[in-house]
């Protein structure tokens, strides 16, 4: 040992103290969290905050008139206007989003379409069952 260093003290207790093993007196007690204040309960997530903010109503000048609409719709209008004015990135985004929207609309079943023969046969079988 050198003259400047003091002898190391042995830990009090029957276990080793070191990396990731603090002394028993400084460890968290059972049932006690390390972050007592923590995140408040009921605090909205970032996604909830975004959706809430996008739903807020703003006044937008459309031509010579001022109309009220939610921020999401105003953002879509602005993006489309930017695409029309020559912003290529905005135009690409609007057109790709339009294609996805059309595909989703085409994939949605038509609730007004007449029933097929198979669907009519199933309905007839259900109607013939006793107790219905």
pLDDT in tens, 28-44: 777 776 777 776 778 88
Per-residue pLDDT of 111-124, as tens digits, reads 777 888 888 888 88
Separation of alpha carbons 53 and 119, rounded Å: 45
C-alpha to C-alpha distance for 53 and 70, rounded to whole angstroms: 9
Burial readout 96-117 (b: 16 or more C-beta within 10 A, e: otherwise): eeeeeeeeeeeeeeeeeeeeee
Q: What is the per-residue pLDDT across 49-95, written as a single tens digit (0 to 9) for each?
A: 999 999 999 999 988 999 999 999 999 999 999 999 999 999 999 99
In the prediction, which pLDDT does 12 show? 61
Q: What is the pLDDT of residue 120?
A: 84
Q: Are 72 and 57 in contact (CB under 8 A)?
A: no
Report the distance separating Cα 90 and Cα 58, nearest Å: 22
Whole-structure pTM value:
0.49
Domain ranges of the chain: 72-106
Residue the block writes with tokens 């995140």 = 39
């Amino acid at each position: 040992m050198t003259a400047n260093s003091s002898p190391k003290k042995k830990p009090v207790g029957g276990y080793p103290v070191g990396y990731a093993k603090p002394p028993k007196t400084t460890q968290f007690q059972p049932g006690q969290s390390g972050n007592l204040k923590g995140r408040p309960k009921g605090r909205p997530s970032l996604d909830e905050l975004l959706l809430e903010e996008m739903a807020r109503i703003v006044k937008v000048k459309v031509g010579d008139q001022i109309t009220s609409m939610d921020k999401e719709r105003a953002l879509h209008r602005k993006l489309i206007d930017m695409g029309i004015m020559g912003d290529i990135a905005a135009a690409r985004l609007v057109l790709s989003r339009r294609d996805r929207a059309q595909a989703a609309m085409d994939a949605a079943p038509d609730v007004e379409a007449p029933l097929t023969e198979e669907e009519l046969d199933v309905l007839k079988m259900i109607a013939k069952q006793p107790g219905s």
